[in-house]
Homo-oligomer: A and B are copies of this chain.
Amino acid sequence: MRQSKLFTKTSKENPKDEQSKNAQLLERAGFIYKNSAGIYTILPLGWRVIQKIAAIIREEINAIGGQEMLMQAMVDKHYLKATGRWDIDIGFKIITAKNPEPSFVLGWTHEEVVTEIAARFINSYRDLPLAVYQIQTKFRNEARAKSGILRGREFLMKDLYSFHADERDLLEYYEKAKQAYFKIFERCGLRTYYTLAGGGDFTAGNTHEFQVLAPVGEDVTYYCEKCGYAENKEISKLKAGDKCPGCGGKIGEANSIEVGNIFPLGTKYSEALGLAYADEKGNRQPVVMGSYGIGLGRMMGAIVEIHNDDKGIIWPEAVAPFKVHLIALEGAESEADKFYDKLIKAGIDVFYDDRAYATAGEKFNDADLIGIPCRLVISKKTLENDGVEIKKRFDKIGEIAKMDATIDILSK
């Protein structure tokens, strides 16, 4: 795509009302737009990142048998009344001109809804196990919506729900989901700690969170530097400097961002909403459930929080808005145009800075801020050698390569 046609422009100043690095960089570079506290528009560059994250999530969740669907945001009172979650403060309720008494809440999670739906289709042990998921907008009335897109009041979430005949089968799937989550985060450039945590409003038992260590994070994680074992401070009896119970390694303490969580729900929701199956003897049994969440916007924020320098963002290639940023300098425009066409023909995901009214300095600064992992510059100087300058975003200096060879390398 040509940068001259892009909807957004970068900004030199940090937004006044954002304290976190990720929100500052994402806003300045034109990935997000803050509409209200904790409520953001994902702009075209940001949407490309979110779509890449979503594609990775879909691949890994489909691979563990997840079937994608889409539940509604307007959740009727009867769902949350069934589990006593109707009056939790986190819910935004809906009123109309004619009805000031709310009968819907904006879905902040979908256990109740998916359980009622599953009850239409699950009757027998032969129907189990099953797993369904959605990538959908959630709404939560967060008291502190301060860390940019790390804690939104409206945010995109992947929520997966699994259904099992018994606890053993749930735990087997739970392990699969755990491995899928590690793959997702790793592919997106995030090192995560699998962290023991409390159940919040979801379950009485323990759950697990995937935590990314980062100073901006609102959680505190105790983690073993040797084996990676980790606990959330909220439920932990560990202290920094302790020895890890498993391996004897040293326990560290750090702020962290929760990018995902997995919950063994047991039969809480199936019992409340009448989801049961007939076992091999014909006896009715409650279905055993798990739920598994990932915040997509929060992942984007965490990636930026981890991958940046003082000039801007440094996207991991798998989630970068484009693979390559091509820059035309003065006097090389027509050659750059031709090269851009060749890159497009070769199927390379390229962003092309063809702006006639920007200086070389503005172009370089924008490229560093936007953070596409590979930069190509065509100038009068590089053309002397029929070449183009290639520079990785995290390298200080680039090197000159022949144009055709560059296309070959990038096509791989």
Contact across chains for B69 and A42 when beta carbons are under 8 A apart: yes
Out of B7, B65, B141, B154, name the residue touching A72 (CB < 8 Å).
B154
Bound Cα distance A39, B118 (Å)? 17
A327 on interface, CB distance cutoff 8 Å: no
Question: Which of A93-101, A214-222, A255-263, A265-273 contacts the other chain?
Answer: A93-101
Interface membership of A12, Cβ < 8 A: no
A21 interface residue (CB < 8 Å to B): no
- In the complex, chain A residues 67-111 whose Cβ is within 8 Å of any chain B Cβ: 67-76, 87, 89, 91-98, 102, 104, 106
Number of copies: 2
A137 to B137, CA, bound (A): 9
A322 touches B (CB below 8 Å) = no
The reply to whether A7 and B132 contact each other, CB–CB distance below 8 Å, is yes
Give the shortest distance, in Å, between A362 (CB) and chain B (any CB): 15
Contact present for A92 and B87 (CB under 8 Å) = no
Interface flags, A28-55, vs B, CB<8A=1, else 0: 0010010110011111101100100000
- Please tell me if the beta carbons of B92 and A95 are within 8 angstroms of each other in the complex: yes
A126 is an interface residue with CB less than 8 A from chain B: yes
User: Quick check: B73 and A94 within 8 Å, CB to CB?
Assistant: no
What are 9 A-B contacts with C-beta separation under 8 Å? A5-B130, A7-B67, A33-B117, A35-B72, A35-B74, A70-B156, A73-B137, A87-B97, A91-B96
A residues with CB within 8 A of B: 5-9, 30, 33, 35-36, 39-44, 46-47, 50, 65, 67-76, 87, 89, 91-98, 102, 104, 106, 113, 117-118, 120-121, 126, 130, 132, 137, 139, 141, 153-154, 156, 357
